[in-house]
Amino acid sequence: MAAASLDFRSDNVAGAAPEIMAALNEANRGDASAYGADIHSSELDAAFSRVFDTECRVFPVSTGTAANVLSLACIAPPYGAVYCHQDSHIMVDECNAPEFYTGGAKLVGLPGEQGKITGATLERALAQGWSGVQHHPQPAAVSLTQATESGTVYSPDEVAAIAHLCRDHGLRLHMDGARFANAVAGLNCSAADLTWRAGVEVLSFGATKNGAMAAEAVVFFKPDLAESFLYRRKRGGHLFSKSRFLSVQLLAMLQDDLWLKLARQANARARELADGFGRMGAEVVWPVQANEVFVRLPENKVEAMRSRGAQFHIWSWHPEDGVYRFVCAFDKTPDDIAALLRAAA
């Protein structure tokens, strides 16, 4: 029996799913046209259109940062403002890449409980009256993180409420879906209901955190918004010559709903971990709606786990609160969860 894995730092620490490795091996046979002219890349639009039940224009990239910032560059001008949660990945974890790739668009961080912004918060921000005033950045777009940095998810109704405000104010709506699969699996809803039917116009579809080796997709639900993406991707250095190796991972993810199967596995382990912490009296600070658990722990339990090889991070935005983050990847097993809880006990 393999030793339990006690590495809960991130879902990025996991390897690639066997199905992904098999697809990569198959794609490695023989020659293929370069720069997205291969057969696998040509199938992406149709494959994603089936999953989302609408016409999609899809572009593979290798990182979530590339997916986010190239998306935003298509919908926000250099003088624009992009509204997002103050703890969102684009706000604090992408080293000013959004500003760089948009040519200077300003990120405006909004507060919100459990990692989410609300329609009311956004409405207050828009009421500042920046539109049409040459001294201010011009409201251009909103970006929602799904699942959020707090491990919570926006419901379709919550997304729709924000989309309604976006339409009223002429703003575009982007979704950072690095853990989109975990959100869909957690809500048990359709991919369409959580995106374009609710008003999302462009999605960064995450696959790397969910078992891919290195593959993300930018999905445009309004194909006309994608007109400049080809050139922005090339100019930004994110057009892979051997694009088949990105595209084949995305196709494998969609095949037989592998993306949801892997996400459900990760989510189930997170719920088991949260339940275990709860039984020992630890406070789980936010609802566990995807594959992350945020728990307030005393130092003796932290030291006990780490002394037995467990790896996890303190929640960096509020370290004084003693809140720690545990992320369950697709390959975590019930034995891994049990081993961590034994270490804590």
- Segment 245-260 shows an average pLDDT of 98
DSSP string, 5-22: P-B-S-GGGS---HHHHH
Number of domains in the chain: 2
pLDDT at 294: 97
Q: Is the dihedral of CA 97, 103, 109, 115 positive or negative?
A: negative
The boundaries of the domain holding residue 195 are: 18-257
pLDDT at 321: 78
Asked if residue 305 and residue 232 are part of one domain, the reply reads: no
216-220, strands of its sheet edge to edge: 57-61, 216-220, 202-206, 172-177, 138-145, 80-85, 106-110
Q: What type of residue sits at position 196?
A: W
| Backbone angles phi and psi of 261, in degrees to 5 | -60, -50
Residue 3 lies in a domain: no
**Longest Cα–Cα distance in the chain:** 66
**Where among 206, 237, 257 does a domain terminate?**
257
Asked if residue 245 and residue 106 are part of one domain, the reply reads: yes
Task: Give the residue from 196, 199, 193, 194 showing the smallest Cα distance to 168.
Answer: 199
Residue 166 lies in a domain: yes
Note the residue count of the chain.
345
- Segment 193-221 shows an average pLDDT of 98
- Say whether pLDDT at 320 is over 80: no
Give per-residue burial for 8-25: e unless 16+ CB within 10 Å, then b.
Answer: bebbeebebbebbeebbe
Residue 12 lies in a domain: no
pLDDT tens-digit readout, 83-96: 999 999 999 999 99
Asked if residue 104 and residue 56 are part of one domain, the reply reads: yes
Asked if residue 333 and residue 222 are part of one domain, the reply reads: no
323-327, strands of its sheet edge to edge: 283-284, 292-296, 323-327, 313-314
**Where among 240, 257, 274 does a domain terminate?**
257
pLDDT at 345: 85
**Where among 257, 280, 299 does a domain terminate?**
257
What average pLDDT does the structure give for the chain?
Answer: 96
Asked if residue 188 and residue 301 are part of one domain, the reply reads: no
Residue 139 to residue 56: CA distance in whole angstroms: 26
CATH code of the domain covering residue 324:
3.90.1150.10
What is the pTM (predicted TM-score) of this model? 0.96
Asked if residue 107 and residue 157 are part of one domain, the reply reads: yes
- Segment 131-138 shows an average pLDDT of 95
pLDDT at 2: 64
Residue 9 lies in a domain: no
Asked if residue 235 and residue 143 are part of one domain, the reply reads: yes
Say if residues 64 and 206 touch (Cβ distance below 8 Å): yes
Percent pLDDT > 90 in the chain is 95
